[in-house]
Structure 1
Amino acid sequence: MKKSKINGRVMSAKELVKRIKEPHKRLISDNPKLLSQFRRVREQLRKQGLLGKRSLIIA
């Protein structure tokens, strides 16, 4: 699994999704690098078929 770095912390895609669902949305939309990373992770999840699951719904 690809690890992503946010605020100097290495985290997996699932952790990244958790962080994204929390109130970091403004922070992420302000930061284009994070936003593109978020989009990539979301695409990966969609390909894996995980996005349909209730636990991973991302607005």
Structure 2
Amino acid sequence: NIDEEEQESLEFILAQALFATGVSFSFLENPYVIKFFQRIRPAFKLPNRKKLADELVDK
């Protein structure tokens, strides 16, 4: 399991990586990316593009 604080921390780090490299938010909707994250950390839920754009970009 993953608690809310860790989920938010991982989302923020992921957002920073995407922003720093200019990777499109749609990257997170790629089936292979989803499969990869499910494999390495099943409890982590990838944020959707809206969450990245609306919430995480402001942090």
TM-score > 0.5 by shorter chain: no
With the length of structure 2 as denominator, give the TM-score of the two structures.
0.38
Would you tell me which structure has more strand in proportion to its own residues?
A: 1
With the length of structure 1 as denominator, give the TM-score of the two structures.
0.38
Would you tell me which structure has more helix in proportion to its own residues?
A: 2
